Structure formats: C-alpha cells, structure tokens
Structure 1
Amino acid sequence: MLSRSRALPAAVLMAALLGLSGCGDDTDEPTTTASDSAGATDSPTASTSPSETAAPSSARTDFCAQIPKPAIRTALYGAAIYDEAWAPGKDADVRGGVHAEGAEFGCAWTAKDGTTVTAWLFAAPVSADEGATLVKKAGAGCEHKKMRAPGADAAVTVQCISDDDTVTRTQALYGDAWLSCSLQTPGILTRLDRAADWCDAVREAALV
C-alpha cells in the first residue's frame, strides 16, 4: 500500500531533457527517491509536447498497485522502509518539499541502505516522433547501456554513477505510453539483470 502521494513540477520535467545533473547525488533520494524520479523523467520539449487531453491508451495509470510486492523486495534486496506515489496535476507534501502540477503517474520504494526502485508513466500520450526525441535526449552525461525492453517501439537505458551510488534507468515507448523504471543502488551496479528484472515487473504491471 503506497503511503504518500505527490506530483512533479513541470520545470523539473523539462530540465531532465538537458541531462541528469543530480543523478546519484545524495539529495536525489526521498530522502533520495523523490528526485531520482524527478531528475530522471523525460518530457517532450515545447515543440513536441504531447496532447494533454487524454491518457495513454496502451497503459494503466493505476499500474503502481499492480506491481507485485515480491518484485519490489527482490529489486531492493530487502524490505522497503519508505514508499510514495504521485499523480499529475496535484500538489503534495513529500520529503524534500512541496511539488505541484506534475505530468506523470509514479511510485517509488526505498530500503534501509538507500536502495530505491522507481516507476513512472507520462500522463499524456506520446507519439512515435516524440518518443524518438526523448530517446535521443535521455541521459545526457550518463553511460548508455544495452538492456532488454521487450515489445518497446523505442527504448533507452542509461546508467549514471556518482561517488556514492548508481542510478540505472530504462525509458521506453509502448504504443502511446512513455514508461520508465529505475534502480538506484549504493556503489556501482554491475549486474544489469537486477535492473532489468525490476523493469520487467513494471512493464507487466503497466501495459494493458
């Protein structure tokens, strides 16, 4: 059961297109989770902004509740001590301050050691052209990795490493749904299958 709700500021979403300047920084968690999802989320630029009149037709906006608890524990290597969820267009008080008028549905869980798993879905439909633009702009300053994303029309995985932790994130377009998942771990994550398994669970929960 997710314990909190929040939305992300549009300015943060737009800034993500310019790179993940805070990826892996200690301030990224909720404690660090909050800005892992905020800093890691890509949104189309103004010239390619998707329609805000409808939600994606190929994904469940309530997908967070469908992610199996065993998948969360497996990805975290243990129990979550903190969780949160957010939705677009709503103000919410969360660790780190108040966020307003977000543009995504999402959720995150954090373990005692700071490991965090996050999942989010852009609230508006995304076209193939917009998806291609997001793929090109994702993860500036981070290392691109090859990781599975079955059924995706477009996908990208990046890994951002700091002195303290690693954020491994996959973003992919499925139909008109831009779906993202990330695993933040202390130190350097070398087993990409751990992140891939988490993304599999997110994908299976989100896609109709």
Structure 2
Amino acid sequence: MATRSGIVRALILAVAATGAAITVGVVRDSPRPAAPSASTGPTTQPLATGLGSVDTSTAAVRRGPFCDAVPGADVQAAVDDPSPSAATWSNGDQLGSGTDVAHEYGCSWTAPAGTAASGWVFAPPVTVQRAQELVASAKSRPGCKPLPGAATFGSPSIALTCTTGGKTTLSYRGLFGDAWLVCQLAGSRATDPADVADRWCASVLRSAA
C-alpha cells in the first residue's frame, strides 16, 4: 500500500506535468508577432516617366486648365530648384500691357538661375490640317531644328531644339484629339537636357490628359 507521502508526491508530479502541457500548448497556439511590413511610402522619383512609356497615340487631352495637376516635385526637378516662381494664364487673359488676349491655358515655372519649364494647351479645337500647319511653322523658326531621337507627342507632332541668344529651348508640340498641347524646357543646366525635357513633357501630358 502506498504511503500518504507517496500519494502526495504523485499528485504533485501529475499537476506539474499537466501545467507544463498546458503551458506548451499555449505557447504553440499563441499567434506569432507579425513581421514588420515593408514601407508603403512613395517610391516614385520625380520625372520618373519618359514619353517612351506613354501611349501618346491614344492619350486624350482636355482643352482646359491643368496646371494644378502638375506634380510639384516634377516642376522642381525640371528646373532644378526647390522654389521656382510660377505664372499661370487662362483663355481670355490679357497678355502683357497690350490688347492681345490668350487663347490657351498654360503655366510656367522659372528658377532664379533662369531655367524655365512650361506647358500650355490651345483653348479652341484644332483640326489635323491646322496641326500640320503648326508643325510646319514651328520647323521654320530661326535657330530651330528637329530634336534627334525624340519620342512622338501626339499626331501630328514635332520636337524641336531652338537656340537664341545662347539659350537653348527644347519643346514638344502635338495634337491629341482636337487639343494642341505644347511643353517647353528652356535654359536647362542638366547633364542631359533632352532627357529632362522628354520627362517633363511626359509629366505635362499626363497632367493635361
């Protein structure tokens, strides 16, 4: 017959074993801490998209204000300045001190160093025939020549590099539906101004579309 002390000892061992089993079960069944999630912050760099990545043949541009949609980071990257001066104009606005008025919606940003990025869209609808005339007129400007290797910018379209007074202006002009869109980068001091102009015009197009 088991002694009283032996019985008590057996009960203590049983309880201890049961407690250990419960503890192990809790540890196994408890959810593990979630792994730290990857950063969801913005990863897109300014002027990340080039015209070659945009289907300009199907892009639709509205003949109206679009400047508020242009990303500020793209503007700063285009002119290489964190706080350029801005100007906007709309259809019917007076131009300068004369009597001429604007027939377009546009905007420009200018850095203290003189680099300027701009874009505008004609307010009136433009036909294909009129667009072809605009292309021919742009080509004939003094000091201007087609920009080598330029991506398409609507149809018809023209990309130009123009030099006047020692300052070079790169521009894209093209027809999107019935909207004639123009973008420019002037006086850029970038290592590759043509690449910056390409990406700037992609930003303008996406903002106006």
Same fold by TM-score greater than 0.5: yes
Matches within 5 A, 1:167-206: 167-185=169-187, 190-206=192-208
* TM-score, scaled relative to structure 1: 0.64
What is the RMSD of the two structures over their aligned residues, measured on CA atoms?
2.2
Larger Rg: 2
Change (3 A) 1:197 1:131: same
8 Å CA contact 1:59–1:177 kept in 2: the answer is yes
- Letter of the 1:105 counterpart: Y
- Letter of the 1:181 counterpart: C
**Equivalent residue for 1:80?**
83
Unpaired runs of 5+ residues, structure 2, are: 1-59
Q: CA deviation at 1:149?
A: 3.1
| 2: CA distance, partners of 1:164 / 1:80 | 25
**Equivalent residue for 2:155?**
153
Q: CA deviation at 1:190?
A: 4.8
| 1: CA distance, partners of 2:99 / 2:188 | 26
| 2: CA distance, partners of 1:188 / 1:99 | 37
Q: CA deviation at 1:82?
A: 1.1
Q: CA deviation at 1:83?
A: 0.7
8 Å CA contact 1:163–1:187 kept in 2: the answer is no
**Equivalent residue for 2:104?**
104
- Letter of the 1:161 counterpart: T
Size of the aligned set, in residue pairs, is 147
Structure having the higher strand fraction is 1
Q: CA deviation at 1:205?
A: 0.5
Q: CA deviation at 1:196?
A: 0.4
**Equivalent residue for 2:52?**
none
Q: Is 1:61 the counterpart of 2:64 in the alignment?
A: yes
| 2: CA distance, partners of 1:192 / 1:90 | 31
- Letter of the 1:62 counterpart: P
Percent identical: 27
Q: Give SS of 1:62's match.
A: coil
| 2: CA distance, partners of 1:188 / 1:133 | 32
Q: CA deviation at 1:172?
A: 0.6
Q: CA deviation at 1:176?
A: 0.4
Change (3 A) 1:195 1:182: same
The structure with higher relative contact order (CA 8 Å, sep 6+) is 1
Q: Give SS of 2:84's match.
A: strand
8 Å CA contact 2:61–2:205 kept in 1: the answer is no
Q: CA deviation at 1:81?
A: 3.0
Q: Which runs of 4+ in 1 moved over 6 A?
A: none
| 2: CA distance, partners of 1:200 / 1:86 | 21
| 2: CA distance, partners of 1:200 / 1:193 | 11
Post-superposition CA distance 1:119-174 (Å, at most 9, x none): 00011000111111111111422111141135x12110111113431111111100
8 Å CA contact 1:161–1:188 kept in 2: the answer is no
* TM-score, scaled relative to structure 2: 0.64
| 2: CA distance, partners of 1:114 / 1:174 | 30
**Equivalent residue for 2:123?**
123
Post-superposition CA distance 1:18-71 (Å, at most 9, x none): xxxxxxxxxxxxxxxxxxxxxxxxxxxxxxxxxxxxxxx841512111000111
